[in-house]
Amino acid sequence: MAAGRDSDTGRIEAFSDGVFAIAITLLVIEIGVPHLEEGTTLFGELVEQWPSYLGYVISFLQIGVIWANHHNRFRFIMRSDHVLLFLNILFLMCVAFIPFPTALLADYLQGTERAAAGAVYAGTLAVTAIFFTLLWLYAATNYRLIDRNLDPFLVRAMTRRYVFGMVAYLFAFLLAFVNVAASLILIVVLALLFVLPEPGEHAKFSRRDSEPG
């Protein structure tokens, strides 16, 4: 454990990583094996259920990116308290819920109820983003729980990044009522954006490299 780091943040991270790994791997059990009827082929039926694969891919990407961002953030969070623990449980509650709206999306993406399914899906991601932002704001405000040596510009850049993400996911939620495809495209673009290097990441690493290991 690094000097000054509370071992409790380590256990929160390990537990969260377990939940991420399980939620991401459970996504596959929502994909059903097709039952063939007279005059259909397995290949045809498998192609028919493309929304299941699409939901699998998008949700896998989302949870993977959430995992990476959660982990990156806990490199800055050096101490924990009961509020952080509680906010993190609420945040995990959203992440572990994702397989349900994914199954919903798979079943209803092709029908007349696709707006409702898309809105529940995007809405779940938006609520997840809200709790992630709250977690960060709680930890970062007045350097309550984060590393006191962090550059204030970096802290503010992070806050902007998460507030932007939260607003963008809320927009995807609203967009689902108008155009589900556009909403899903926005969600994928957001995941790809959030897998990119963070602002100031290079500067931070450089600083660490110059310290004795």
User: Residues in the site for a second copy, rule: CB under 8 A?
Assistant: 3, 11, 14-15, 17-29, 31, 33, 36, 41-43, 46, 56-57, 60-61, 64-65, 67-68, 71, 82, 85-86, 89, 92-93, 96-97, 99-100, 103-104, 107-108, 113, 116-117, 120, 195-197, 213
Any bridge partners for residue 77, and if so which?
146
Task: Write a three-state SS string for the chain.
Answer: CCCCCCHHHHHHHHHHHHHHHHHHHHHHHHCCCCCCCCCCCHHHHHHHCHHHHHHHHHHHHHHHHHHHHHHHHHCCECCCCHHHHHHHHHHHHHHHHCHHHHHHHHHHCCCCCHHHHHHHHHHHHHHHHHHHHHHHHHHHHHHCCECCCCCHHHHHHHHHHHHHHHHHHHHHHHHHHHCHHHHHHHHHHHHHHHCCCCCCHHHHHHHHHHCCC
- For a second copy, give the closer residue by CB, 48 or 113: 113
Q: Which is nearer to a second copy, 82 or 152 (CB)?
A: 82
Distance in Å, CB of 16 to a second copy, minimum:
9
Specify the residue, 152 or 211, whose C-beta has the smaller distance to a second copy.
Answer: 211
Q: Measured from the CB of residue 4, what is the shortest distance to a second copy in angstroms?
A: 9
Q: How far is the CB of 19 from a second copy (least distance, A)?
A: 5
Q: How far is the CB of 141 from a second copy (least distance, A)?
A: 20
d(CA 180, CA 13): 34
C-beta of 167 vs 203, nearer to a second copy: 203
Separation CA 6–CA 12 (nearest Å):
11
Nearer to a second copy, 67 or 169 (CB): 67
Of 154 and 198, which has the nearer Cβ to a second copy?
Answer: 198
CB 70 within 8 A of CB 16: yes
